[in-house]
Chain A
C-alpha cells in the first residue's frame, strides 16, 4: 500500500480525492444546488447500489469465464448458455422443492457436470487449437439455446425469492429531509444486498483458494506454464477438468441469482456472454481481481448510463472497452509478461 503511494504519488492523490468525493456524495445531505446538477440523491444512490449489485452478478459469471481462459487459453463462447441453463435448472428445482438454496446448489452441481462433459468430450480433443475451439463453442451455444427454447418456451421465468429475502430494508443513508426536518432514509431491496455480499464472499474465497492452497498453486502454475507443470508430474488434465467444472458451476449459480433479481428468457445467454466478455477485456483476461474490477465498472456504467443518459446507455460499456483497449490493451489488472 505505502509502496504504491511511494511509486505513484499523483495517482494515489487522485484516487484519494475520488474516494473522498464519493463518500461525501453518499453521506452528505444534498443541497438544492447539488440536486439541480446531479438529480435527486435517491436516484444517484440507487444507481450506485444497483451498479454495484449488478457488478456482483457479472463477477459471478465472468470469474469462471476468466479462470477457464487463463488456464486453458480457451475462449468458451458457450459460457452464456451455461448461465441460462443454470437459471432454468434452478427454476425447475426451486419449483419442485420450494427451496432457493436447493436451487442454487442444484444448479451449481448440474452445470458443473455439464462443464465436465464439455471438457472431456470436446475440448480435450482440440487443445491449443483456438479457432476450432471458438467455432465449436459458438455452435454449442446455438444448439443449447434452441434446446432450452424447446424445453422451456419463450416465456419469461423468475426464480421465486425466498420470503426472508424479499422486501426492502432501510439503509443508513439519508436521501432527503422532509419539511419538518425529519430524515428520509434510503430503502433498498434486501435480495440485492444479499447477492452483493454473496459475490464478495465468493470472490474473497476464490482469491484465498488460488493464493493460499495447494490446488490454487497448481492452477496458478498452470496459468503461467502449462507444459512445465505437466512435466513436473502433475496430472494437468485433472486440474483442467476441475477448473472447467468450477467455472461452469459458477455460471450456473449466477443463472439462478440472475433469475432471482432479474428474470430468465431466451436471448439472455448472449446478453450475459457479451457482458462478461466486456468485463474480462476491461479487467484483463485470466485475472480474478481484474474480473472483479471489470464487473464493477461495467455494472456501474450500465446503471449510471440508464439514469443520466438513457439514449446512449447501451454504448457506454463499449466506449469503456474501447478506451481500455486503446490505453491498456492487456486489461486493467493483467500481469505483464
Chain B
C-alpha cells in the first residue's frame, strides 16, 4: 500500500514537472459570459466578439497560442464569483475577460483584490461603482459605464423629441440604476421630469401589473430592461394594446432585442436611445468591424450586426492583447509589468477611440441613436450623433459629480 502511494506521488511529481517544462505553453484566458438567464443572447454575442478578435490575431498573442476557457454565469453576482473562482483555482488562469453584467462587475472588482496576480479586463459590465468606488488595481475596463452610455440622451429626448414627462421601468440591479442616473443627469438639467420609477426583478416574467401601473399623463416611458425581459415586456405590452412612446436604455434597443423573433419589437420603431454603438454608423472602421462580424459566422448563428456586447468583448480582448504584446505575454511576475502596460493602452476601436483614466476606466464615445425599420424589415439603430470623450464624471467636475451621489432606485431625484 505504502509503495503504491509513493509511486503515485512520484508519478504526479513527474507529470507536474513535465508540464512546467514545456516552452510554449498555451496562454489561458478565462472568459466570463452570461450564458443563461435573461441576458443569454448578449453573453453569446459577447463570446462571438472575443472569438473574432482572437481569430484576427491568428489565434496567437506574442507568438503564444491562446486558449479561451469559457465560464457561464447568469448575471447574478454570485454566479460570476463562482465562475471566476473556478477559472482561477481550477484552471489556473491569470487573465479574465469579463464579466458582462453590472452587479457581476462590482462583485468581480472585490474578488480581484483577493487575487492580485490575476488581471481582470471587464468586458461589458456597466455599473458606475465598479471603477469609481474603491477601484481595484488589477481591474481594467475598456467600455463605458451605464451612465456614460446615456451622455447627451437626456438633452436630446427633452429638446429634440419634446418628451417633458417620463416614467421609468427598469430591472432592479446596478446597471439600470446607473443608466437612469446618467440619463437623469442630462434630462432633469434640461427641465424634464421623471414622475414614476418601477423596478422589477431581473428575469421578470409577468409585466401585467407593471404595465397597468404606467401613468396615463407621461410623454414616454424609459425602458431600462435587457435581453429576455425586454422581449417579455414588449410582447405583453403589445397584448394590452398600449400605445406609449419609449426611450430605450443601451441594451433595450440593442441587436439582442431588435433581432428577436416575434412582432412585438416593432413597437420600438422611433425609440431614441444611446449607447456604445450605432448599428448604422457609416464610419469606415465601424463598417469594417460589421463586415468582419458578418463574415465570421453564418447568418442564423449571429445578429444582423454586432451587438453592444460583441463590440465590448472585442474591444476588451483587443486591449488585453495589445498590453500582452508589449510584455511578450510574460506574466511570470504576477502580471505587474503587463498591468503597467495595459493601463497605457489606447485603442482605435471600431466604435471610436478608447483610452483609460487613472482608475483604469475607459474614456470613450457615446452614440445617440434612433430605431428605424430597414427596407428588408430588420430593425436597426439609425445614427443620430456622437458625444466624444465621455469620462466617468460625465463632464462635471469631480466634486460636483460626487455631490450627485451614487446611482440607486431613487437617485438622482428628478422633480421640477
Instruction: Name the CB-closest residue of B to A57.
Output: B206
Q: Specify which of A156, A166, A303 is in contact with B228 (CB 8 Å cutoff).
A: A156
Is B209 within 8 A of A188, CB to CB?
no
- Binding stretch for chain B, among A46-54, A106-114, A214-222, A245-253: A46-54
Instruction: Name the CB-closest residue of A to B199.
Output: A310
Number of interface residues of A (CB under 8 A): 39
Bound CA–CA A57/B241 (angstroms): 22
Chain B nearest Cβ from A125, distance in angstroms: 33
Is B37 within 8 A of A154, CB to CB?
yes
Bound CA–CA A263/B260 (angstroms): 13
Contacts known (A189-B240, A306-B210); A158 close to B235, Cβ less than 8 A: yes
Contacts known (A156-B232, A310-B199); A47 close to B36, Cβ less than 8 A: no
Indicate if A160 sits at the interface (CB-CB under 8 A). Answer: yes
Which residues of chain B come closer than 8 Å to A192, judged between CB atoms? 208, 239
Bound CA–CA A161/B44 (angstroms): 27
Is B228 within 8 A of A262, CB to CB?
no
Indicate if B389 sits at the interface (CB-CB under 8 A). Answer: no
Instruction: Name the CB-closest residue of B to A166.
Output: B239
- Chain B residues numbered 218-240 whose CB sits less than 8 Å from any CB in chain A: 227-228, 231-232, 235-236, 238-240
Indicate if B312 sits at the interface (CB-CB under 8 A). Answer: no
Bound CA–CA A283/B233 (angstroms): 31
Bound CA–CA A40/B199 (angstroms): 18
Which residues of chain A come closer than 8 Å to B212, judged between CB atoms? 42-43, 45-47, 307
Chain A nearest Cβ from B281, distance in angstroms: 27
Is A54 within 8 A of B206, CB to CB?
yes
Indicate if A26 sits at the interface (CB-CB under 8 A). Answer: no
B32-68 toward A: CB 8 Å interface, digit per residue (1/0)? 0001111011011000000000000000000000000
Indicate if A168 sits at the interface (CB-CB under 8 A). Answer: yes
Is B206 within 8 A of A50, CB to CB?
yes
A22-65 toward B: CB 8 Å interface, digit per residue (1/0)? 00000000000000000110110111011000100000000000
Is A155 within 8 A of B40, CB to CB?
yes
Bound CA–CA A302/B37 (angstroms): 21
Indicate if A191 sits at the interface (CB-CB under 8 A). Answer: yes
Which residues of chain B come closer than 8 Å to A191, judged between CB atoms? 239
Bound CA–CA A168/B212 (angstroms): 13
Chain B nearest Cβ from A58, distance in angstroms: 12
Is B199 within 8 A of A149, CB to CB?
no
Chain A nearest Cβ from B174, distance in angstroms: 16
Chain B nearest Cβ from A159, distance in angstroms: 10
B237-279 toward A: CB 8 Å interface, digit per residue (1/0)? 0111100000000000000000001100000000000000000
Q: Specify which of B74, B206, B241 is in contact with A167 (CB 8 Å cutoff).
A: B241
Is A267 within 8 A of B209, CB to CB?
no
Is B40 within 8 A of A265, CB to CB?
yes
Is B209 within 8 A of A47, CB to CB?
yes
A292-310 toward B: CB 8 Å interface, digit per residue (1/0)? 0000000000110011001
Bound CA–CA A155/B301 (angstroms): 13
Chain A nearest Cβ from B196, distance in angstroms: 11
Which residues of chain B come closer than 8 Å to A40, judged between CB atoms? 213
Is A262 within 8 A of B239, CB to CB?
no
Indicate if B326 sits at the interface (CB-CB under 8 A). Answer: no
Indicate if B92 sits at the interface (CB-CB under 8 A). Answer: no
Bound CA–CA A267/B201 (angstroms): 14
Bound CA–CA A267/B236 (angstroms): 21
Bound CA–CA A231/B199 (angstroms): 59
Is A188 within 8 A of B36, CB to CB?
no
Indicate if B86 sits at the interface (CB-CB under 8 A). Answer: no
Indicate if A153 sits at the interface (CB-CB under 8 A). Answer: yes
Indicate if B285 sits at the interface (CB-CB under 8 A). Answer: no
Is A46 within 8 A of B209, CB to CB?
yes
Bound CA–CA A310/B210 (angstroms): 10
Which residues of chain A come closer than 8 Å to B209, judged between CB atoms? 43, 46-47, 50, 303, 306-307
Chain B nearest Cβ from A39, distance in angstroms: 8
Is A154 within 8 A of B36, CB to CB?
yes
Contacts known (A50-B209, A263-B232); A155 close to B41, Cβ less than 8 A: yes
List 8 tightest A-B contacts by C-beta distance, closest first: A156-B228, A46-B212, A154-B36, A168-B241, A189-B239, A50-B208, A262-B205, A154-B40
**Known contacts A263-B228, A306-B209; can you find 19 more A-B pairs with CB under 8 A?**
A43-B212, A47-B209, A155-B44, A156-B38, A156-B40, A156-B231, A158-B231, A158-B261, A167-B241, A168-B240, A168-B241, A189-B208, A189-B239, A261-B239, A262-B206, A265-B228, A307-B213, A310-B200, A314-B201
A-B contact pairs, 7 of them (CB 8 A): A46-B211, A156-B40, A158-B235, A263-B205, A265-B228, A306-B209, A307-B213
